[in-house]
Structure 1
Amino acid sequence: MRRMDQLQEENDRLKILVSQDSLTGLLNRGAVEENVGTELRIKNSGAFIMMDIDHFKRINDIYGHLTGDKVLQKLAHAISCLFFKRDIIGRMGGDEFAVFIPGEYRKDMLLSKAESLYSRALQIGKEMGVGNNLKLTMGADQARAGDTFQTLYSRADLALRFGKAESKKYLNFYEESMEHYKTDFQIREELMEAPLDMKYIRRQLKEPVFSRGAYCQDYQTFLSIYHFLERSLDRTGLRVQIILVSLTDAYGSFVKLDEREFLVEQLKKGISSSLRFNDIYTYYTSCQFLVMTPGAAGKDMEVITNRIRGRFRKLVPDRPDVKLFFSFYPLQQTVPKQ
């Protein structure tokens, strides 16, 4: 008898594991589909609500997937607390949740539930440190004669997508007129996401803090910028000067190896601190730097080279034997091959 009880307990445990979403503890999609389908076959009445988090990808990307998982868990708990035990509540995948409420349910009652859940989601977002980014959009419809899970789900999902694309309301009830929007939704949603994606990309690419002085780059990056500016000169009208700065001894030869590292480092500091933050420079050889000065003309070269020389002299005042030599030329428009 005890053995039978143990087997029954194990079977019950396995049933729970098979039907449960591992992250949130709610029913998984398969269990929702099975349970809702059963309810529709028996009573053919009830309300079905689909919901998802607006721009959830941004929460994952900005705050990390661990925070995203915790947000889903908190939201799942809030949904469970708001609805009744007899209601069928599940996670459909990703950031999508569903609730089926058996029996007759008035629209104003659904609106009240949706309003409470929307407010609670905003509160969870603030508690989790994601600001006002935790917002929900919901779509809903009542069960109709002959409905299966798929037909009811399809209408609620369409109302959800309509809400995300066309409406500012957090709960959208299915209407037949929405069927005309089906073919356009994917394109519309992609177009709506683009500005939000670009805001995130801009934050990713933006230099967090502008450092003072010129911008030091490795040689390959310097070369890529050079080629980009070379291609765009005709279109932009930008003037760009290229300067070669050479560090030598009194006889015009590169400085000795035992003092080269120190002197080159001082020259680097002199170049960086004497140029503008949009100027670019790179190591060219062990005693030479290449400098790119967007927006500078040939007549500016004397001022720029004197500024570099003066700053370097302040850094090594006891080395009058060390010389700086400058060569420069204007960047020319490249002509593509025919």
Structure 2
Amino acid sequence: MKEGQYSMQTVVTPEEQKKVLELEKMKRSLELQLQEMARKVEEQKQQIAMAMRDPLTGLRNREGVADQINTLLKKETKGTFFIMDMDNFKCVNDTYGHVEGDRVLVRFSSALRKVIESEDIVARLGGDEFIVFSPGLHHKNLIEKKAAHIIRRIERELVTPGRLIKVTVSMGIALSPTDGATFEALYTNADKALYFVKNDGKNAFRFYGETNDSKIKKCTPKASIEEITSRLREKKMEGSFVVEYGNFEKIYRFLERNIARENREVQCVLFTIDEPEAEVFDSIALQRQMEHLEHAITSSLRKGDVTTNYSSSQMLALLMDVNRDNSKIVVDRILQKYRQEAGEDEMEILYESQPLMPEEQVY
């Protein structure tokens, strides 16, 4: 220190030191309180988010989706509301149990996630009821393509080897603002379209605006047994016996009960078109190939064999009085005929075969 300069030192008294320590303690306490409040706010946010989600599938639930769609509709008036549920889901629960039913629901939601666009809103409303809202989608041909694509993809995802019960998808469609400008209105009208599908054969989609189309009901006059059998004999059938899947299942069950007593061998064969991934795939091309495959199967088999369309890319056949080795010969004949009909447009056909067992041997 130079001569003539003075040094000044701050003297802190014990009382002042005590106050400083108390202030630091209060600061630390406030920091901890703020951290605890932030933690609780985050927990509440997570609880709210969880309350808006379906615990089984992870999709939004009804509470989580209604407000979101209503908010979107205020900004973007045009959009398409799809509602869908599974055909025969109750039969899956009743036959295989609710654990298997839950697996089907999870697979359904997984398939749905794979086909939606990033801006789409998807939710499980409860049970086997799901919805998708596509904001901005309003061209009918694009809506039809999307509906067919969703149904086909889910259908393919839900195929389970060894499970005879067929699970397909029915869908109702409502358009905004034509059929409603709120979630509630769109849901109500799409649900009416879905109800129409469920009562008109299932495994299809329908627009709400088309549900008022008149349906012609056939009135068949009474007839005697001789008249009925005479008409039945007039309708000659070539190739295999083609039936709807519901009737196919009944025939399958009937054969299970009778093949042991009659000492017959029956082979169940599943044909599948190995279609490419959906983004670039043409559903019309698939339909055309299914027509080729169906004709190749039905025309190659005998009158005693039974066939049905299982899904948009699969056919099932029951080959009567045929062992496993002979069934391979029959399948080769069918595939050869398909290739001839399909030509350059042919797709790869996969097949699986299982012998039908008597009912008491089915585990």
Find the counterpart in structure 2 of residue 231 from structure 1: none
Q: CA distance change for structure 1 residues 167 and 135 in 2, over 3 Å: closer, same or farther?
A: same
**What is the CA-CA distance between 1:169 and the residue it aligns to?**
5.9
1:138 aligns with 2:176: no
* Cα distance between partner residues in 2 of 1:128 and 1:72: 17
Find the counterpart in structure 2 of residue 152 from structure 1: 186
Find the counterpart in structure 2 of residue 85 from structure 1: 118
Q: CA distance change for structure 1 residues 168 and 127 in 2, over 3 Å: closer, same or farther?
A: closer
Deviation per CA, 1:137-184: give whole Å up to 9, x if none: 111121116622221111111111111212566221112653989xxx
Unaligned runs of 5+ in 2: 1-33, 216-245, 262-363
* Cα distance between partner residues in 2 of 1:118 and 1:132: 17
Aligned with residue 206 of structure 2, among 145, 154, 172: 172
Q: CA distance change for structure 1 residues 140 and 38 in 2, over 3 Å: closer, same or farther?
A: same
Query: Which of 29-38 and 165-174 deviates more?
Result: 165-174
Overall identity of the aligned pairs, in %: 34
Unaligned runs of 5+ in 1: 182-195, 212-338
Find the counterpart in structure 2 of residue 21 from structure 1: 54
Query: Are 1:19 and 1:31, in contact at CA under 8 Å, matched by a contact in 2?
Result: yes
Q: CA distance change for structure 1 residues 177 and 110 in 2, over 3 Å: closer, same or farther?
A: closer
**What is the CA-CA distance between 1:210 and the residue it aligns to?**
8.7
**What is the CA-CA distance between 1:81 and the residue it aligns to?**
1.8
Find the counterpart in structure 1 of residue 277 from structure 2: none
Query: Are 1:54 and 1:134, in contact at CA under 8 Å, matched by a contact in 2?
Result: yes
Q: TM-score, normalised by structure 1?
A: 0.50
Aligned with residue 135 of structure 2, among 96, 102, 111: 102
1:9 aligns with 2:49: no
Query: Are 2:168 and 2:203, in contact at CA under 8 Å, matched by a contact in 1?
Result: no
Find the counterpart in structure 2 of residue 329 from structure 1: none
* Cα distance between partner residues in 1 of 2:164 and 2:155: 8
1:32 aligns with 2:65: yes
Find the counterpart in structure 2 of residue 125 from structure 1: 158
Match of 1:17, as an amino acid? Answer: M
SS state at 1:166 partner: coil
Match of 2:191, as an amino acid? Answer: D
Aligned with residue 86 of structure 2, among 46, 50, 53: 53
Match of 1:175, as an amino acid? Answer: G
**What is the CA-CA distance between 1:124 and the residue it aligns to?**
2.3
* Cα distance between partner residues in 1 of 2:165 and 2:153: 12
Deviation per CA, 1:202-250: give whole Å up to 9, x if none: 97xx989999xxxxxxxxxxxxxxxxxxxxxxxxxxxxxxxxxxxxxxx
SS state at 1:52 partner: strand
1:111 aligns with 2:144: yes
* Cα distance between partner residues in 2 of 1:99 and 1:149: 11
* Cα distance between partner residues in 2 of 1:210 and 1:54: 32
Match of 1:110, as an amino acid? Answer: I
Query: Are 2:107 and 2:158, in contact at CA under 8 Å, matched by a contact in 1?
Result: no
Query: Are 1:159 and 1:178, in contact at CA under 8 Å, matched by a contact in 2?
Result: no
Q: CA distance change for structure 1 residues 208 and 63 in 2, over 3 Å: closer, same or farther?
A: farther
SS state at 1:50 partner: strand
Find the counterpart in structure 1 of residue 197 from structure 2: 163
Count of aligned positions: 195
* Cα distance between partner residues in 2 of 1:110 and 1:179: 19
SS state at 1:126 partner: coil
SS state at 1:101 partner: strand
SS state at 1:90 partner: strand
Query: Which of 149-158 and 106-115 deviates more?
Result: 106-115
Query: Are 1:122 and 1:133, in contact at CA under 8 Å, matched by a contact in 2?
Result: no
* Cα distance between partner residues in 2 of 1:24 and 1:81: 14
Find the counterpart in structure 2 of residue 43 from structure 1: 76
Query: Which of 110-119 and 133-142 deviates more?
Result: 110-119
1:64 aligns with 2:109: no
Query: Are 1:48 and 1:98, in contact at CA under 8 Å, matched by a contact in 2?
Result: yes
Match of 2:184, as an amino acid? Answer: Q
Deviation per CA, 1:25-46: give whole Å up to 9, x if none: 1111122222222222333221
The alignment yields a C-alpha RMSD, in angstroms, of: 3.3
